[in-house]
Amino acid sequence: MRVLPVVLALARQAWQCVAQILGYVTLQGAVMAKYQIMGRPLAGSFFAECLLQEAGVDYEFIWVSNTHSKTDEFAKTNPMGKVPVLVCPGGHQIIETLAILNHLIEAFPQLAPKVGDVSRDVMWQQLSVMATNLYPALHRIHHTYYYAPEEMLDGVRSMAVDATGRFWDYLESQLAPYLGGDAPSAADFYLIMMTRWAPDLDAVVAERPRLRGFVAAMEAHPTVSAVKDSHTK
């Protein structure tokens, strides 16, 4: 008669293990909500959606308009007034791209090379170049008015375009055929997001055959397609 309680206990432990993998239950056994991503379709939240999709984790997308992101109400969520914001199952929130990337890579190790592997250092190097060099340059192209008075906008924009060329060249040298090697990893989903922000992608890939092949492959990738399709329904 004591077998049933033992079986029930084992079943409960098995469920908790599965639920922890899916992101629904804490180690203490408390039920949590699923991940939430606050952002705009195909904007800076795109990579976070791709990583959760790639990891097979269910999440909720919360649309935040550009206008709302500048309000005092949203500032309580992110004082920087920007998206994305990742709301974790436990309830805490994470802002800023690299912080969100770090959390998701730690939570779902299959998204990146193993800890201690040289390729993991290379991945973080690639991500850092994109987040701290390429992204700011693209931002100066699209939002030049943040950086200079009107009479200087053309010059700032032109310098930003020149700067992106160096960063695209670096990324071209890293592709084989993906940044992660034979298969996409976290950095590749970030890169495909970056390519979507290029003012003239055809010109960017014209003399960069690896990047051209990468864009074609990633745009057809099931994970990328699933995220795009989720915003067209």
The count of residues in the chain is: 233
- The answer to whether the CB of 141 falls within 8 A of the CB of 203 is no
Question: pLDDT for 190-217, tens place per residue?
Answer: 999 999 999 999 999 999 999 999 999 9
The residues pairing with 62 across neighbouring beta strands, listed in sequence order, are: 38
Backbone φ/ψ region at 42: left (φ over 0), alpha (ψ -120 to 50), beta:
left
Task: Look at residue 87 and give its three-state secondary structure.
Answer: strand
Question: pLDDT for 34-62, tens place per residue?
Answer: 999 999 987 899 999 999 999 999 999 99
Task: Look at residue 93 and give its three-state secondary structure.
Answer: strand
Kind and range of the H or E run holding 29: none
- pLDDT (average), residues 4-24: 47
pLDDT of 157 higher than 50? yes
Task: Look at residue 26 and give its three-state secondary structure.
Answer: coil
**23 vs 226 pLDDT, higher one:** 226
Domains of the chain, start order: 33-110 (3.40.30.10), 113-230 (1.20.1050.10)
Give the span between the Cα atoms of 139 and 197, in whole angstroms: 9
For strand 93-95 and strand 85-87, is the pairing parallel, antiparallel, or unpaired? antiparallel
Give the span between the Cα atoms of 44 and 47, in whole angstroms: 7
- List the one residue out of 32, 189, 165 whose CA is nearest residue 111: 189
Give the span between the Cα atoms of 170 and 98, in whole angstroms: 19
What's the whole-number average pLDDT of the chain? 89
pLDDT for residue 22: 45
Question: What percentage of the chain has pLDDT greater than the value 70?
Answer: 86
Query: DSSP secondary-structure letter at 70?
Result: G
